[in-house]
Structure 1
Amino acid sequence: MAEPRWLTDAEMSAWRSYVVATLRLRQRLHRELTEAHDVSLADYEVLVLLDAQPDRRMRMSELASLLGSAKSRLSHQAARMEAEGYVRRVSDPDDKRGVIAELTRAGKRVLKAAAPTHVDGVRTHLIDQLSPDEQAVLASAFSRVLVHLDELDE
């Protein structure tokens, strides 16, 4: 077995900064949404993805993939969100085995109320901390990482 390519100090610094910063950023954004609107960051992300669809609905399997979530975990989350009145789950008319999540009026209202808080948090805690050049580098680097990971999943 070949020796692992251990991280250099600079690589380890980049990795640890990424891991800790993204964890803490998500925790902060979650706290701001729950305190101001009683909606979690995870639920907010579901609402955003559904709202972005022309018909405000999406197959649960596609939603799970876009969220990087296990189907079973998303199913529990959707059940809770359905109980809150934010989404509705219905059978896929084209595939009876599939389930579609639909954004409800209540979900749209919560999203509309929470969006300014979320955008302000993203701007304050991330975007405003980076120069335009750093934002471009970040976008380019993580776009490349996403392409790589998508290729592995094919």
Structure 2
Amino acid sequence: MSEPEDKIGAWAALLRTHAAVLPRLERALLRTGLPITWYDVLLVLNAAPHRRLRMTELGQQAVVSRERVSRVVTELEREGLVERQSNPDDRRSAFAAITPEGRRRLRAAAPVYLDAVEQHFSGHLSDDEAKVIATALWRVLGAEETRRNR
């Protein structure tokens, strides 16, 4: 295969792998009562400083589309897993913060999620393959985020 075909092949493999693996992760997580979109938002918030982010920051960091992040936060808020907090420095923005119950539910779901990732994705890769894939994808993501922020 020539180089352009290799790169298109890599893109096709990424898309097909995502399409094949994501539904399996979603099914595994549903057994915990957390849809994958909820899990993603809780995971991002839990890792954030003070376990909260401005909604715009959450929209940039979560895998959920920026358009959907507000709806997901509203759903999580109804379940008591997230709370919105006013931003004293900027009245136009608000924070989304994970609650203690949100942290508890995230911790309970984490082993299920990690097991599903291992079973359906990382378990098929050697350590070297995983490192190459991660390095390449983080580089692409970094370039696109830089481009977006210009």
Q: TM-score, normalized by length of structure 1?
A: 0.87
Which residue of the partner structure matches residue 109 of structure 1?
Answer: 104
Contact 1:89 1:101 in 2 (8 A): yes
Q: Whose radius of gyration is greater, 1 or 2?
A: 1
With over 3 angstroms needed to count, the CA separation of the structure-2 counterparts of 1:42 and 1:56, relative to structure 1, is same
Instruction: Give structure 2 stretches of 5+ with no counterpart.
Output: none
Q: Give the corresponding residue for 2:147.
A: 152
Q: Mean Cα displacement is larger for which, 22-31 or 93-102?
A: 22-31
Moved over 6 A (4+): none
C-alpha distance in 2 between matches for 1:151 and 1:9: 26
Asked if residue 42 in structure 1 is aligned to residue 37 in structure 2, the reply is: yes
Matches for 1:1-150 after TM superposition, within 5 Å = 8-34=4-30, 36-150=31-145
Secondary structure, counterpart of 2:91 in structure 1: strand
SS at match of 2:48: coil
Q: Which amino acid aligns with 1:29?
A: L
RMSD between aligned residues: 1.7
Q: Deviations over 1:46-93 (max 9, x none)?
A: 111111124211111100001254444211111111011110012111
How far, CA to CA, are the matches of 2:50 and 2:139 in structure 1? 30
Contact 1:60 1:71 survives alignment (8 Å): no
* Cα distance between partner residues in 2 of 1:8 and 1:31: 35
Residue type of the alignment partner of 2:19: L
What TM-score, normalized to structure 2? Answer: 0.89
In 1: Cα distance, 2:86 partner to 2:18 partner: 35
What is the aligned-residue identity percentage? 35
SS at match of 1:39: coil
The whole-number CA distance in structure 1 between the counterparts of 2:79 and 2:39 is 13
Count of residues in Structure 1 that have an aligned counterpart in Structure 2: 147
Question: Do the aligned partners of 1:50 and 1:56 also contact (CA within 8 Å) in 2?
Answer: yes
Instruction: Specify whether residues 33 and 57 from structure 1 end up closer, same or farther in structure 2 by C-alpha distance, changes over 3 A only.
Output: same
